[in-house]
Structures are given as structure tokens and as C-alpha cells.
Amino acid sequence: MARRSPQEPRKVIGPLGELLTRESLPAANTPRWTPRRKAEVVAAVAGKLLTVDEACKRYSLTAEEFFGWRRAIERSGLRGLRVTRSQEHRDFHERRRSY
């Protein structure tokens, strides 16, 4: 196991205000990605619990998929991560950009 430097945090605040640790992150073999789980992974990377590469490897994500999650959160919060509404959120932001 690699040693962590003292500057790396051991906990970060999750999307719903809870403390996240590496151990409390979604399981590597998560079968169903809810908006909350996606947001927890994004928060872990933002808080430097994981690097983008570690997150992508651990969860079998492409960098494009991870950055899409991050962009959706930045634009619309947790609601932007809902698969059933992703097209609506995309359309909204496309219209907003054209003004």
C-alpha cells in the first residue's frame, strides 16, 4: 500500500454534506450509478481523495465520462446527473449558450 503524503486529505465533504473517505466511496463494482454515487466520485476527485486516473481505473470509466459527470454537476447540480433528464439539461444549456 502506498504511503500518503501529509498534505493529502483523508476526508472530504460529499455532495449531501456527509464526510467521505476512500473507504466510504462507492464500491469498485457498483452495478447501478445513481446521481449521488456519481457526485461522490466527483467530490472525491475534487477533494483529492482520488486522482482522475485512479477514479477512472477503479470505476472503469473513460475520462470523457468522468468529466461529463463533473460538467453536469457544475451546470445543474445533482439533477444534471439524472440519466432520464440529461437531454433536457443539455438542451437547456445549449439554448442558454446561443443567447
Q: Which pLDDT score, from 0 to 100, does residue 89 have?
A: 53
Q: What is the pLDDT of residues 15-62, one digit of tens each?
A: 999 999 999 999 999 989 999 999 999 999 999 999 999 999 999 999
Q: Which domains does the chain have, with CATH numbers?
A: 12-22+32-98 (1.10.10.10)
DSSP state of 20: E
Q: How far apart are CA 29 and CA 87, in angstroms?
A: 26
Whether residue 56 contacts residue 28, with contact meaning beta carbons closer than 8 Å, is answered with no
Q: Which pLDDT score, from 0 to 100, does residue 42 have?
A: 97
β-pair partners for 12: 20
Per-residue pLDDT band at 82 (split at 50, 70, 90)? confident
Question: Residue 65 above 80 pLDDT?
Answer: yes
Q: Which pLDDT score, from 0 to 100, does residue 97 have?
A: 66
Instruction: Indicate yes or no: pTM above 0.85.
Output: no
Place of cell 437531454: 87
Q: How far apart are CA 67 and CA 1, in angstroms?
A: 27
Characterize the bridge pairing of strands 19-20 and 12-13.
antiparallel
Q: Which pLDDT score, from 0 to 100, does residue 94 have?
A: 63
